[in-house]
Amino acid sequence: MSAVVTGLGLVTPLGRKADEVFDALLAGRSGIVAVPEGHAAHGWLPFAGIAPHIDGTEVLPPTEIRCVDRFVLMALAAADDAIADAGLEVGRDVAPDRIAVVIGTGGGGLETFEQQSHGRVQRGRPAVSPYLLPGMLSNMAAARVAIKYGAQGYSSAPVTACAAGAQAIAEGLRLLRADEADVVVCGGSESSLHPTVAAAFDNARALARGWPDPALASRPFDLKRNGFVLGEGAGVLVLERAEHAAARGATAHAELLGWGGTTDAHHPTMPRPDGAGAAAAMRAALRSAGLAPSDIGYVNAHGTGTKLGDVAESAALNAVFGDHRPAVSSTKGATGHLLGAAGSVEAVISVLAVERGQLPPTVNLLEPDPACALDHVRQPRETRVRAALSNSFAFGGHNLSLIFGEPSTTGRHQQPGEIR
């Protein structure tokens, strides 16, 4: 059963509209900035990928925004855009019990929990809001989207750290292939720019440091990389059975061809040095899609900018693709690492690479590490991409790979500037 992508929604450090974000990536812009005074992470992070502000009243009635965490607001904003892009109306285009919602996160309502905990320490029990739990629980992004749109089918919230957004999309494909839904709203959201999270990553020496210009700090695969940059955001896709999309006259950005998932079973935070688990996920995705390695024209790498992770992923890519060497870039150079939202944001970027025939470069890749010998995209490329692979790897050893291809349905989205 074919599944097509009919809607895209983004909230990222580069902006809130999918095409605008993709254009910024092609232009080599960075969304990494110095953390301003007044931000919760000021003094805890020197720089970060900060997404645009979202007022709760943009996405919810004023009476419902008490203690709604920022990760929920970003998920709602991205879902609103994706559903509008798909031209979808629940009840008219899909039965309420045939639309599913799967939105993952790594940490859930970290901001809400931190604020409420601080209030409890300062003022005791009365300071803790009765709205704390519905504000911070990790399933609340999925729940709020379902409530807003009346989606009464299956819903869930993967919490597989930095693979959560990608796993949500994979789960969406499984639901469609099992005929358990006609439409799935899926993706990930993360708001992690808070003192405790920042301190934990910094004390683990995982974060980039020592860069006077924030825009230079995130540099996947570069010889001078020294850690990742924390970011925040959300990415949501509307997936549909191809037959369902065609029947309602919807157009498709791309087709979700397959997915693969494995577990390293190696270490709580470090990948297998040889990338064996990541390679197995990519091979599983190729089998799921019915493709050979030579069919992949572009890889949006996980590529966070850590010393070990980038080398392990490079080893995995070379093991899977050998002499084929597809074009590879990591868009985290421009956005930072969005943790549980990374996989879904990068899935949207991969969809647009297929749709537009353009490959975004890896920002700040000035001197590729010889240990990361790949066909790096260092300047934008224009080329037909029949299939693109998007990788997401996570603490705990979770590995997810997604493959998107050109849609086989007759309808497709019009490109910017295209005349029909």
3 state SS of 102? strand
How far is 193 from 275, CA to CA, in rounded Å?
A: 29
Q: At what angle do helices 307-321 and 276-289 cross, to 10 degrees?
A: 40
Rg (CA), the chain: 20
Look at the block and give the residue holding tokens 């899609």: 289
| Length of the chain measured in residues | 420
Tell the burial category of 182 from Cβ atoms under 10 Å away from its Cβ (0-12, 13-18, 19+). Answer: buried
Phi, psi of 414 (to 5 degrees): -70, 140
Cβ atoms of residues 49 and 335 within 8 Å: yes
C-alpha distances in angstroms, 72 versus 5, 348, 400? 22, 19, 23
Amino acid (one-letter) located at 405: G
Name the token pair of 17. Answer: 């509209």
Backbone angles phi, psi at 400, to 5 degrees: -130, 135
Catalytically active residues, by annotation: 162, 302, 337
CA-to-CA distance for 69 and 382, rounded, in angstroms? 39
- Helix H or strand E segment including 256: strand 254-263
Indicate the SS3 state at residue 152: coil
CB 104 within 8 A of CB 158: yes
Q: How far is CA 99 from CA 83, 89, 185, 266, 289, in A?
A: 12, 11, 8, 37, 23
Angle at 183 between CA 63 and CA 64, to 5 degrees: 5
Up-side HSE of residue 154: CA atoms within 13 Å toward CB?
18
Q: How many Å apart are CA 31 and CA 29, to the nearest integer? A: 7
Residue type, 74: M
The answer to whether the CB of 362 falls within 8 A of the CB of 378 is yes
Distance (Å, rounded) from C-alpha 296 to C-alpha 71? Answer: 33
